Amino acid sequence: MSNKLRWIGSPQIKHVMEMIGLPSFLLDVVAGADELGKFRFSHISGQHERETGIDGAALIGRAPHDVLPQRLADTVVANYERCRVSGQIESYEEILELPSGPRWWRTTLSPIFGAGAGGPVTQILGVAVDVTEANLHEIDLTQQLSTQRAAAEKIRAFATNSMLDSKSPLRSVLAHLDMLRDGFLDLGDGKAKHMDTIQTIVMDAITELDDVLQSTSHLRDSPLEFVQIDLAHMCRDIAALVDPESRITMTLPCHPIEGDWAVTQVVLRCLLEQATHRAVSTIEVTVDTQSKDVLVFTISDDSAFDQSGAEWVGDMATAATLVKEHGGALTTTSCLNDGATVRVTLPGHMHANTQILPDVLAG
């Protein structure tokens, strides 16, 4: 089946939009003199109004930058332009600040082509599904799992030390048995047999302890499960939340990565929110490979702040705890002349199909 929709007329499309029962919107598209698409809202479904709290009538005939905060408008227009240029269905997950609060959406954009073969994209139909509950549940489970893993690691460490402590007296028993056998005269009264029995019991106990220790040694080295993350989209969405009016010029990475989606989302959200509060005018976010299955994120701004552990409260404390529980590290530096930098390592790697692209300049 072709993934290209031919022009069927706005009245028919609007009727379908009201029938499908999902939040949907229709954009009119024209190519500007600069060859970039110009987008205006043509129709907003009733379900879209109910779920987002946005008055559809206030959007009709207006461009995204006329009705949305600048950062948010930049983000959605970039999505619309990608759909227009590719002429393909675009599907992605995004988080948007709405009157009802921040919500996650699984949005699908379908290009609609003008009459005639090879006609230009004249409209874009957008359909969204609210996935906030599922994503918040995933984040909550991730944080709970991190806490449980930390507690389990403490228990494992305690159990390991306890077993190691248990082996010491058992080895002492073997040493004393060797001392007793030195010069021991078997009188046939069964004492030699008793010593052999004791030695067998002790050796079996040590062997069982070694087996238990060996059986749990893999727990720290369990293989990590990564998912592909559109890091550029994630960072743009977070930027739109923490700096909706584009007060700060942000340089954001374009590299797709593989890692833990929930952990990456929470950590970057916490750190970018903190950086936005501190920064005077600029923030730069970079990602690179530190070693196999380890990524290093660097968030730099043009401020200076006290990096002592006592200052790690709120978002910084949340990020530091989550990073540590996933085997990473968070360090901070600051200089009055060079600004502040937060460096975070997390499990993950660059996506296999990563292309070297310029970073996104959002500001």
* Nearest by Cα to 240 from 32, 98, 51: 98
Side-chain-side CA neighbours of 197 within 13 Å: the count stands at 5
Mean pLDDT of 89-98: 84
Of the pLDDT bands very low, low, confident and very high (cuts 50, 70, 90), residue 336 is: low
Quick check: 40 and 61 in contact, CB under 8 A? yes
Task: Report how far residue 282's alpha carbon sits from residue 57's, in angstroms, rounded to the nearest whole number.
Answer: 36
pLDDT above 90: percentage of residues in the chain: 21
In this structure, of 11-15, 145-149, 340-344, the range with the lowest mean pLDDT score is 145-149
Reported as a single tens digit per residue, the pLDDT across 218-259 is 444 445 678 888 898 889 888 888 888 888 999 999 888 999
Q: What is the pLDDT of residue 214?
A: 62
In three-state secondary structure terms, 95 is strand
Alpha helices in the chain (DSSP H): 10-20, 46-52, 64-67, 70-86, 132-181, 191-216, 231-242, 261-278, 315-325
Q: Name the least confident of 117-121, 136-140, 288-292, 357-361.
A: 357-361
Beta partners for residue 287, in sequence order: 297
Percent of the chain clearing pLDDT 70 (strictly above): 77
In this structure, the strands spanning 249-252 and 90-98 are unpaired
Three-state DSSP state, 302: coil
Q: Which pLDDT tens digit goes with each residue over 309-330?
A: 445 666 677 788 888 888 889 9
Q: Give the per-residue pLDDT at 358.
A: 41
Question: Could you tell me the CA-to-CA distances from 229 to 234, 235, 256, 286 in Å, in that order?
Answer: 8, 11, 6, 15
Q: DSSP characters for 132-166?
A: HHHHHHHHHHHHHHHHHHHHHHHHHHHHHHHHHHH
Which stretch of 50-59, 94-103, 350-359 has the lowest confidence by average pLDDT?
350-359
Averaging pLDDT over each range in 122-131, 261-270, 315-324, which range is the top one?
Answer: 122-131
Which residues, other chains included, contact 249 with Cβ-Cβ below 8 Å and sequence gap of 6+? 281, 282, 283, 361, 362, 363
Query: Is residue 124 pLDDT above 70, yes or no?
Result: yes
How large is the average pLDDT for residues 267-284?
88
Mean pLDDT of the chain: 79
pLDDT higher at 136 or 344: 344
Short-list 123, 114, 99, CA closest to 40? 123
The answer on pLDDT for 210 being more than 80 is: no
92-104: average pLDDT: 81
Model confidence at 7, in pLDDT bands (50, 70, 90)? very low
> Which three-class secondary structure state does DSSP give residue 297?
strand
Residue 108 has pLDDT above 90, yes or no: yes
Highest mean pLDDT range out of 5-14, 109-118, 325-334? 325-334
With tokens 């052999």, the residue in question is 196
Half-sphere exposure at residue 111, Cβ-oriented, CA atoms within 13 angstroms: 26
Give the separation between CA 272 and CA 277, rounded to whole angstroms: 9
- Count CA atoms within 13 Å of residue 210 on its CB side: 9
**Highest mean pLDDT out of 80-94, 200-214, 217-231, 345-359:** 80-94
Return the number of other C-beta atoms located less than 10 Å from residue 357's C-beta.
Answer: 11
pTM above 0.85, yes or no: no
Q: Is the pLDDT confidence value at 139 over 60? A: yes
Res 217 pLDDT > 70: no
- What pLDDT band is residue 296 in, cutting at 50, 70 and 90? very high
Mean pLDDT of 85-100: 84
